Structure 1
């Protein structure tokens, strides 16, 4: 661990991670989970993300970190973004005349981003696990992040684009594992853990999260 002038920074080496993930804890710590061993490379990533880190810490101090305002902010990939940072969404919102229309545009945005983002990540883990879905579908679901049926059709909740990349990857691996085990048995969780060693932690982070209306 080393300190910056803004907050404590905790480095956790995760050789099985595909990417480097940065998370701000409720204590205001900057936690980095990364497959990288070179500290200078990690510092370079932190430098690139410095503006985001400062913004998240400032929001946390104000108590507004988890309160996106409809029409002004959006929960996207685990972060609250000002709408103006996402031109495709901003254009949609400018067409809306009331909050109902604005919410509809949020859902359209999530679906478009899911279709752009999720298939490549599914393909990556499908090759790794040698478990290939017959078809991938996208739908807004009220209570589940995803599902897999006995015909090999995997459906993903478009609202999962509100989540972090780590959580998105967990949902993908979870549903692919159902292609082999249509249950939540011990052997099922062991399969998920083979490809995501932090399966228990990721599953725990999702327990208290429900898709936001926007």
Structure 2
């Protein structure tokens, strides 16, 4: 069934798929947040069918050789157009694209509904927003399977109400279990990360 995945022979409810399904008809952040909340609630009611964290190993950086993936980060306005300048009070979307550059299927396992880790810095390089502290994630197992050459788009709704006027740098990465915010802030951009800027006026 579309809303379930199988890990090590055990079936579990995939809250990410339900959330995407609930958010599909909407572009507004508020309605999409309602969809995510409903998805999280439903996942808690359904349960994980005896699948525990002890049975499941979240993916780490060392699970993948160099150049397995490439990552790209962009922003879109409410009309789905790529943009980097937004007005105060406007909502926008962070678009993270992960591409499997290898010649084999690549499987990424997650211990929660979180798929992205990201930090936002202002012109003084102060952290003004980060996904780990500002977003709640359902504690359900998840998996992303990318075929050779396949791209996977991860979309996160954001609002300029969370930022002052100015320019901001976002560093985002797929949420591997051993990839920390500190690593996002260093100068090295790995195969799992991408960096881009946007401004609020």
TM-score normalised by length of structure 2? 0.27
Q: Which has the higher strand share?
A: 2
Bigger RCO of structures 1 and 2 (CA < 8 A, at least 6 apart): 2
Q: Which has the higher helix share?
A: 1
Larger gyration radius, structure 1 or structure 2:
1
TM-score normalised by length of structure 1? 0.25
